[in-house]
Amino acid sequence: MRAQVLICPTITLRAYGHLCHTPRRLYRYGSSSQFLNLNLSRFSRRLLTSFFHMEFQSGAGSSGKKSMVENLKRYGVISSKRVAQVMEHLDRGLFVPAGSSAYVDTPVPIGYNATISAPHMHATCLQLLEDKLQPGMRALDVGSGTGYLTGCFALMVGAEGRVVGVDHIPELVDMSIKNIEKSVAASLLTKGSLSLHVGDGRKGWQEFAPYDAIHVGAAASEIPQPLLDQLKPGGRMVIPLGTYFQELKVIDKSEDGSIKAHTETSVRYVPLTSREEQLGGF
């Protein structure tokens, strides 16, 4: 099908607020209480208007995946060959609710006051963690949602690695397992190198720690200590920090256990909170 999309590299203009971003940042015009799992940065209204009329093909299956990845590459969001390959290999269409725009660069509500992040956020996090997602390495995905990014991690570390997804909504964990069972990552789930669990992601998942890579898909007010403890020396964590104003932080643990952090970009994520608060609308 042919999809109208705002390609202001590379986020859709939404009805509930004007949103636009460059490959590094995105800025939100207007007001909305909804959390979107997006990059945030300034962009002129004149460019918003011109980009609004651009289109790209967003078909089903392999053509849709290819269009999505090529679009992200074109605007500089994806520069890694490995990231491009894994995002084209794993079909995002299997991980969004039926009827959703799977290949347009926009977050999608998945129920339970949660979203699957926009593809540009998945690409950004995969690239930031790429060096820690080599074959045989271990990764933890906190707030694994429908399982898409968890599946990408699993494909990157391979059968000899170990990937753990954790979410505190049982229905989402059940959904993610079913999604992965339909995907190219199914064999990794069967072999046990990929697993998804119901739990409080703020506590990590001690059983398979330490992890070379930890991704947190919700914004915390501060880094949970259990996640720092479970990060392997030499490992890296990517986590959004903040409440209303949030930044995507890259946390590196040195071999001596010391921590270094830098800000990658401004973002807007759902809060990292309890199951009860999430279901109650924060």
Catalytic residue ranges: 117
Q: How many CB atoms lie within 10 A of CB 59?
A: 14
Which tokens belong to 177?
């397992």
> Residue 191: phi, psi to the nearest 5?
-75, -15
Half-sphere exposure of 252 (CA within 13 A, CB side): 12
Task: Decide if 102 contacts 132 (C-beta within 8 A).
Answer: no
Task: Decide if 141 contacts 164 (C-beta within 8 A).
Answer: yes
Half-sphere exposure of 40 (CA within 13 A, CB side): 18
